[in-house]
Amino acid sequence: MAEEKSFKYVIVGAGVSAGYAAREFAIPDLKHGELAIISNEPVPPYERPELTKGYIEFKTNTNLAKDYVCGETGEQRQCPQWYKDKGIEMILSTEIVKADLAAKSLVSSHGKIFKYQNLIVATGSTCSRFSEFGVQDANAKNIFYLRDTKDLDQLALTMETKKKRTVVVIGGGYIGFEISASLRVNNYDVTMIFPEPWIMHQIFTAEIASFYQGYYEDKGIKIIKSTRATGFNTNSNGEVTEVKLDDGRTLEADIVIVDIGGTPMTSIFRGQVEEDKGGIKTDGFFKTSISDVYAIGDVATFPMKRYGDMRRVEHVDHARKSAEHAVKAIKAAEEGKLIQEYDYFPFLYSRAFDLSWQFYGDNVGQSVLFGDNDPKSPKPKFGTYWVKDGKVVGAFLEGGVMEENKAIARVARTQPSVGSLEVLSNVGELLIGSR
Ligand code: FDA
């Protein structure tokens, strides 16, 4: 007879959104044994973006405790004891391989059965892999994909034992952007390649990206744009030695780090719940098409009220806020109350070297740059506003202090009308004191 356990609430996945959902469930308190969090990772929820920022430190031992949620938002860090104290059952190193949403039942790879009254799907994304696209020698040793602590620990171990220090980073998104800087700080020889015409193409304009490209190159990172990796060469041990490029060149590589995008982890629910844009479709309370089943974080495709469309957002701020909103909605429903629909205002950020940027709103329409974006300046500081239909809809700032970041957020949130881009540029310069 298979082991069976029942809970009022089950969260599948123990990533960022699960951690913030647990916190919301625990306010003010939770009955012991009501909530279980089931995850295939061996550790409780941590601030995943720290993997390529604070967690990765090649010279010393890594330390996860400082990265547990909800530290990044100034709340208490939820160490394993926190979950025990709150009576939350943390079921780790346990992969859910089958879900029967009609029977309200989940099955783990060990054959254990978990029953629930309310399910929250918080399974996040996984890295897209070159092997899925039939790329030659894609499974060679020392090619890394970075999603969790295990990936980072393996990378750090390989780094320590390698005599050569040549790394090729494939991909110019978040992970490529951050890991390249972390490696360079640790004196690795780093080359970045990506198919887009500039780094962080989905968020940055060409003008924003030209600053980061110049800055990275000054730090010694080589950047090859508009170029694809087509395969790998290996030695007799099956270790990667070279990356082949679509222009016929090859790049020497002891280590390759790949960041070619993510895929939402929805497969165990496929065919049982409505999907949209690759994710699980939800309403403005993160309820899916199946009653008592919610989806939060990277897997949810939700109504983006302020822009009037459905979106899936793979960013940590949404992971946190969608979690809190879903739990508030569950609690309100239990009391026969209603809460407001989720009204997400996008916020993205990153840090690399001694740089730090924030972005708010939507990066659509025309853009205007303000401030000093010369990478050789002693203290570069600049921003960009995006204008659509005569209104400011998005704002970006590199090197801003808290008050300035708050100010650009306010602009993107309130969407003021603008007469001309020139005037807007002057307003931006006044904001950061560069005029
Ligand atoms: P998350 O991926 O955090 O958690 C999902 C959990 O579900 C994992 O524990 C997974 O193992 C588990 N799981 C999946 N399937 C399962 C199954 N079948 N059974 C059991 N468990 C299962 N964002 C940003 O805004 N700024 C940034 O700088 C960065 N930087 C960054 C760096 C790196 C290296 C990564 C990987 C990601 C970022 N991000 C980011 C993105 C951000 O981290 C991401 O959007 C959130 O972690 C999403 O939170 P979720 O809870 O949805 O998924």
Domain boundaries, the chain: 4-126+263-335, 130-258, 354-433
The pLDDT of residue 73 is above 90: no
Q: What is the mean pLDDT of residues 147-163?
A: 87
pLDDT tens track for 87-143:
999 999 999 999 999 999 999 999 999 999 999 999 999 999 999 998 999 999 999
Nearest CA to ligand 1 atom 27: 49
- Regarding the domain delimited by 130-258, which CATH topology (the fold level of the hierarchy) does it fall under? FAD/NAD(P)-binding domain (3.50.50)
- State the Cα torsion 114-115-116-119 to the nearest 10°: 50
CB-count burial class (<10 Å; 0-12, 13-18, 19+) for 236: exposed
Answer yes or no: is the C-beta of 127 below 6 A from any ligand 1 atom: no
Distance 17 CA to ligand 1 centre (A): 8
Contact 229, 220 (CB under 8 A): no
* CATH homologous superfamily for the domain 4-126+263-335: FAD/NAD(P)-binding domain (3.50.50.60)
What pLDDT, on a 0 to 100 scale, did the predictor assign at position 54? 74
Among 120, 113, 109, smallest CA distance to 11 is for 120
CA of 14, closest atom in ligand 1 = 9
* CATH homologous superfamily for the domain 354-433: FAD/NAD-linked reductase, C-terminal dimerisation domain (3.30.390.30)
Contact 266, 279 (CB under 8 A): yes
Distance 132 CA to ligand 1 centre (A): 20
Local structure of residue 277 (DSSP, 8 states): T
Answer yes or no: is the C-beta of 315 below 6 A from any ligand 1 atom: yes
> Which residue of 20, 38, 98, 174 sits with most ligand 1 atoms within 8 Å of its CB, as the best mutation to test the pocket?
174
Beta-strand (E) ranges in 285-410?
293-295, 300-304, 309-312, 347-352, 355-361, 366-372, 381-388, 391-398
Distance 360 CA to ligand 1 centre (A): 21
3-state SS class at 348: strand
Phi, psi (5° rounding) for residue 154?
A: -65, -40
Among 234, 294, 233, smallest CA distance to 269 is for 294
pLDDT tens track for 11-67:
999 999 999 999 999 998 899 999 999 999 999 999 999 988 877 766 555 678 889
Q: Are strands 189-193 and 222-224 parallel, antiparallel or unpaired?
A: parallel
Contact 361, 394 (CB under 8 A): yes
Answer yes or no: is the C-beta of 362 below 6 A from any ligand 1 atom: no
What pLDDT, on a 0 to 100 scale, did the predictor assign at position 267? 96
Here the tokens at position 60 are 């010393």
The pLDDT of residue 3 is above 60: yes
Question: Over the range 329-340, which residues count as b (16 or more CB within 10 Å of their CB) and which as e?
Answer: bbeeeeeeeeee
Answer yes or no: is the C-beta of 122 below 6 A from any ligand 1 atom: yes
Distance (Å, whole) CA 181 – CA 244: 23
On average, the pLDDT of the chain sits at 94
Q: Are strands 143-145 and 255-258 parallel, antiparallel or unpaired?
A: parallel
What pLDDT, on a 0 to 100 scale, did the predictor assign at position 419? 84
Distance 315 CA to ligand 1 centre (A): 9
Here the tokens at position 333 are 């429903």
Answer yes or no: is the C-beta of 123 below 6 A from any ligand 1 atom: yes
Q: Are strands 89-91 and 96-100 parallel, antiparallel or unpaired?
A: unpaired
Answer yes or no: is the C-beta of 268 below 6 A from any ligand 1 atom: yes
* The domains spanning 130-258 and 354-433 adopt the same CATH topology: no
CB-count burial class (<10 Å; 0-12, 13-18, 19+) for 290: middle
Distance (Å, whole) CA 180 – CA 186: 10
CA of 127, closest atom in ligand 1 = 36
Answer yes or no: is the C-beta of 313 below 6 A from any ligand 1 atom: no
Answer yes or no: is the C-beta of 37 below 6 A from any ligand 1 atom: no
Answer yes or no: is the C-beta of 90 below 6 A from any ligand 1 atom: no
- pLDDT exceeding 90 applies to what percent of the chain? 84
The pLDDT of residue 365 is above 90: yes
- State the Cα torsion 221-381-171-163 to the nearest 10°: 30
> Which residue of 64, 114, 316 sits with most ligand 1 atoms within 8 Å of its CB, as the best mutation to test the pocket?
316
Distance 391 CA to ligand 1 centre (A): 33
User: What's CA 388's distance to the chain center, in Å?
Assistant: 26
Q: For the chain, what is the radius of gyration of the CA atoms?
A: 23
What pLDDT, on a 0 to 100 scale, did the predictor assign at position 236? 97
Distance (Å, whole) CA 430 – CA 435: 6
Nearest CA to ligand 1 atom 23: 315
3-state SS class at 302: strand
For residue 310, CA distances in Å to 20, 59, 275, 305 come to 23, 44, 11, 8
What pLDDT, on a 0 to 100 scale, did the predictor assign at position 62? 63
Distance (Å, whole) CA 258 – CA 147: 11
Here the tokens at position 327 are 């739990």
What pLDDT, on a 0 to 100 scale, did the predictor assign at position 360? 97
Distance 16 CA to ligand 1 centre (A): 6
Is it true that the peptide bond before 70 is cis, omega within 30 degrees of 0?
yes
Nearest CA to ligand 1 atom 42: 316
Distance (Å, whole) CA 360 – CA 415: 11
What pLDDT, on a 0 to 100 scale, did the predictor assign at position 16? 98
3-state SS class at 390: coil
3-state SS class at 351: strand
Distance 337 CA to ligand 1 centre (A): 31
Answer yes or no: is the C-beta of 244 below 6 A from any ligand 1 atom: no
Is it true that the peptide bond before 303 is cis, omega within 30 degrees of 0?
no
Answer yes or no: is the C-beta of 203 below 6 A from any ligand 1 atom: no
